[in-house]
């Protein structure tokens, strides 16, 4: 069996290498036959809004492809890629089938080179822009499950439904490090830890593309890891604003997730829209070429973000014209420009730059080869179209169950005073808060539209939180008074009092209050905020309902951890649902009732105050004990809940922690094995996330207090014991030094096994001699 497996694996590697070489060679051969204008056209990506006509007024939309505009772009200017959904509203798979087929027909029958269009969509947590498809919880919710296979499954289902839409490319996974909870794109990534980001990023990439990135089959799509890199650490906490990140820090924390995606064969990478160390990343040769290609080994295609080449001039003012912006970006390493509107300007100016010798033909050929190889890897030349009729599992019950399972695996119990949960049936329940009836709040942005504000157009049988609670506990036992509601507008931050006093008064007659608070949907720049505290009206509602003295269960649905320290200590239970998706309400109801034992863990540190936005892997100076009688230098690391934290209805005991060797000579490949026995000491089956951290006790570069190295989610019946074993190498203990090189140093280390970053059950000494 092992010999057969080895032979099959080796054969697969050979076939993959041959396909890579074959497609690379074929792409180069095509480039050699192309005119300069044809090459430049392949580097141009335009929005579908440029080539459509009609009115988008659902349900009677007359929007369709404008044949003349399409031919102007594709035949005359040789445009090679189109993106987005008209008016950022989802379309049916049948609409996409016809629209993309028309584009491919023009590209492959009316142009000299007959090169297919590469169509791309932001299918961020499911098939975002495909109506009637199965949506999943947001990526931050997936991370809370601590099961990378959930990301892979989401990728597989998203790819299947996207191909059913005749679209072969998605602009995800989002692999930005979620360091700053103020940031509007926190929910699109996998949290604050580099290792979790790497594990989930690789799994999602494999889910999208399959095992062979050089031969992506008809059930898979090309992935695009974004936003390379350092995008998630702006100084202001606001989207697309400057960051200051030393190179060794960039490589230590921000690069690992991208490296994992590259190692998994990710087809394309999108670039950070922001600025690092006073240089826009879209013009940074060192980041785009030296680091990304030469050091990290990326061989795929690099695409800009929306209009970001032009912004080198219009926003950042680092150049004096659009023409100079194009020169800087292309020479830095951008292969395809997401223009997205004025493609005539881009094509004309780039040709001038080549004719003038400001951009070399070699750089153009390199870029176009990268672009054509993706089209070849996707087999678009042979099969330019895929149709829904050939995808019978589209939005199947199995797909819907997979989305529910992720939510059930991720929802996190943060507080359970006196075991108030599971909540017994038969009680009189008051449901209050704006998120109780908001599908926007359950799903967030990138849900059938950019900001998620159009989601109600696409909801069919899915439940909001109130409906799920009524189904679980009986409508006769549940009373709903909002207290605070959201206005039905594009903007997310639009709360108003809605029967406010009536909701507070109703708490007196309830046995328990389910207070459903958090955020409305948003994404990107429109989601910027000035205050991380939960909005004032929701906070006031919580405080006044708590004053009534009845048990309060706080249910949060939010894309980032909004501060709740003004009232959290007085609640009886807190449940974090993150953005649990279309079936998240059902999962929550099952958890509240005890039909599901919660097992999610925080993928970020939940801060307590606006000035405590420090990740768990901070420096020792963030926590100081006073050592001087005259001056108080004590420092605090204040969190509401620590990274990796989450409660269960079961309890777990850790014992017999072991390490394979307490000392080893310096050898980066030396293997280290750490194990521990975990027992479910509770009365019901449950899952526990066993977490392995390491602490470098002393180093030439000031070390972090700890770093997550491995984790495993283990399922245990009541009374059952399992041994969890982690295997790693000395290289896992490396850090990036001041010379920007990864290094392992001799010295003392400590392995910590725990249920969270703060709840350490066992410590094991380790020394590199």
Contact (Cβ atoms closer than 8 angstroms) between residue 728 and residue 708: no
DSSP code for 449: B
Nearest to 485 by CA among 507, 471, 502: 502
What is the C-alpha to C-alpha distance for residues 708 and 691, in angstroms, rounded to an integer? 7
Contact (Cβ atoms closer than 8 angstroms) between residue 491 and residue 450: no
What is the C-alpha to C-alpha distance for residues 463 and 452, in angstroms, rounded to an integer? 16
What is the C-alpha to C-alpha distance for residues 588 and 576, in angstroms, rounded to an integer? 10
What are the backbone dihedrals phi and psi of residue 664, each rounded to the nearest 5 degrees, phi first? -150, 150
Distance in Å from the first CA to the final CA of the chain: 40
Contact (Cβ atoms closer than 8 angstroms) between residue 562 and residue 537: no
User: In whole angstroms, how large is the CA radius of gyration of the chain?
Assistant: 26
Nearest to 97 by CA among 454, 396, 391: 391
DSSP code for 272: P
Q: Which helix (H) or strand (E) holds 144?
A: helix 139-145
DSSP code for 609: S
3-state secondary structure at position 477: helix
What is the C-alpha to C-alpha distance for residues 58 and 123, in angstroms, rounded to an integer? 21
3-state secondary structure at position 51: helix
> What are the beta bridge partners of residue 680?
652
What are the backbone dihedrals phi and psi of residue 116, each rounded to the nearest 5 degrees, phi first? -70, 155
**Pair of tokens at residue 756:** 């969270």
Query: So which residues are the catalytic ones?
Result: 305
CA 69 to chain centre: 35
**Pair of tokens at residue 448:** 């059938």
What is the C-alpha to C-alpha distance for residues 712 and 646, in angstroms, rounded to an integer? 14
Contact (Cβ atoms closer than 8 angstroms) between residue 183 and residue 140: no
Q: Which helix (H) or strand (E) holds 412?
A: strand 412-416
DSSP code for 691: E
Residues ≥6 apart with Cβ < 8 Å to 191: 140, 143, 144, 178, 197, 602, 603, 604
3-state secondary structure at position 125: coil
CB atoms within 10 A of CB 636: 13
DSSP code for 10: H
DSSP percent split of the chain into helix, strand, coil, nearest 5: 35, 20, 40
């Amino acid at each position: 069996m092992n010999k057969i497996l080895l032979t099959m694996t080796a054969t697969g590697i050979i076939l993959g290498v041959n396909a890579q070489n074959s497609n690379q060679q074929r792409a180069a051969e095509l480039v050699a036959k192309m005119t300069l204008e044809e090459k430049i056209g392949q580097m141009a990506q335009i929005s579908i809004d440029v080539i459509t006509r009609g009115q988008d007024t659902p349900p009677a939309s007359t929007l369709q492809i404008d044949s003349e505009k399409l031919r102007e772009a594709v035949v005359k200017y040789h445009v090679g890629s189109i993106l987005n959904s008209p008016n950022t509203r989802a379309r049916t798979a049948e609409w996409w089938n016809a629209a993309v087929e028309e584009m491919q027909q023009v590209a492959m029958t009316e142009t000299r080179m007959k090169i297919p269009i590469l169509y791309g969509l932001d299918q961020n947590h499911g098939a975002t822009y495909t109506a009637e498809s199965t949506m999943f919880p947001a990526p931050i919710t997936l991370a809370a499950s601590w099961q990378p296979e959930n990301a892979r499954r989401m990728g597989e289902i998203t790819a299947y439904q996207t191909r059913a839409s005749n679209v072969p490319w998605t602009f995800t996974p989002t692999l930005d490090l979620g360091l700053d909870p103020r940031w509007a794109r926190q929910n699109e990534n996998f949290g604050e830890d580099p290792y979790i980001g790497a594990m989930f990023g690789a799994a999602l990439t494999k889910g999208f593309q399959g095992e062979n990135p050089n031969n992506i089959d008809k059930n898979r799509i090309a992935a695009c890891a974004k936003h390379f890199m350092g995008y998630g650490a702006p100084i202001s906490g606001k989207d697309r604003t400057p960051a200051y990140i030393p190179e060794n820090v960039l490589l230590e924390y921000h690069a690992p997730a991208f490296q994992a995606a590259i190692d998994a064969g990710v087809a394309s990478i999108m670039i950070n829209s922001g600025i690092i160390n006073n240089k826009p990343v879209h013009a940074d040769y060192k980041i785009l070429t030296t680091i990304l290609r030469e050091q990290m080994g990326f061989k795929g295609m690099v695409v800009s973000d929306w209009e970001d080449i032009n912004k080198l001039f219009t926003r950042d003012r680092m150049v004096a014209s659009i023409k100079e912006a194009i020169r800087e970006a292309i020479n830095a390493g951008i292969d395809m420009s997401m223009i997205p509107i004025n493609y005539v300007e881009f094509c004309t100016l780039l040709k001038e730059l080549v004719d003038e010798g400001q951009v070399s033909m070699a750089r153009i050929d390199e870029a176009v080869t990268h672009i054509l190889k993706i089209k070849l890897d996707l087999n678009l030349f042979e099969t330019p179209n895929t149709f829904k009729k050939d995808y019978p599992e589209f939005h199947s019950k199995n797909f819907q169950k997979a989305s529910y399972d992720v939510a059930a695996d991720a929802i996190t119990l943060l507080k359970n005073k006196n075991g108030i949960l599971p909540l017994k049936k038969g009680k009189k329940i008051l449901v209050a808060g704006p998120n109780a009836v908001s599908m926007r709040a359950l799903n967030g942005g990138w849900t059938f539209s950019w900001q998620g504000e159009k989601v109600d157009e696409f909801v069919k049988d899915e439940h909001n939180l109130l409906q799920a609670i009524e189904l679980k506990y009986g409508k006769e036992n549940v009373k709903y008074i909002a207290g605070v509601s959201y206005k039905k507008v594009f903007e997310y931050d639009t709360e108003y009092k809605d029967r406010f006093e009536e909701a507070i008064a109703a708490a007196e007659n309830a046995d328990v209050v389910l207070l459903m608070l958090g955020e409305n949907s948003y994404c990107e720049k429109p989601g910027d905020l000035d205050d991380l505290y939960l909005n004032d009206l929701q906070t006031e509602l919580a405080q006044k309902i708590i004053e009534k003295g009845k048990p309060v269960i706080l249910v949060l649905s939010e894309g980032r951890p909004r501060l709740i320290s003004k009232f959290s200590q007085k609640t009886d239970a807190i449940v974090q649902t993150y953005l649990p998706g279309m079936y998240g309400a059902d999962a929550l109801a099952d958890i509240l009732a005890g039909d599901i034992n919660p097992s999610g863990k925080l993928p970020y540190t939940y801060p307590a105050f606006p000035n405590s936005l420090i990740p768990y892997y901070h420096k020792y100076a963030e926590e100081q004990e006073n050592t001087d009688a005259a001056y108080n230098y004590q420092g605090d690391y204040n969190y509401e809940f620590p990274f990796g934290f989450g409660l269960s209805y079961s309890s777990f005991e850790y014992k017999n922690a072991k390490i394979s060797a307490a000392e080893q000579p310096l050898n980066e490949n030396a293997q280290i094995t750490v194990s521990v026995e975990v027992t479910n000491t509770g009365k019901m089956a449950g899952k526990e996330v066993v977490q392995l951290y390491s602490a470098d006790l002393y180093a030439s570069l000031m070390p972090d207090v700890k770093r997550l190295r491995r984790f495993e989610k283990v399922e245990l019946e009541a009374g059952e014991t399992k041994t969890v074993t982690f295997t790693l190498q000395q290289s896992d203990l490396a850090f990036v030094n001041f010379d920007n090189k990864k290094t392992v140093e001799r010295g003392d280390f400590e392995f910590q096994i725990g249920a969270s970053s703060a709840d350490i059950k066992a410590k094991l000494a380790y020394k590199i001699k």
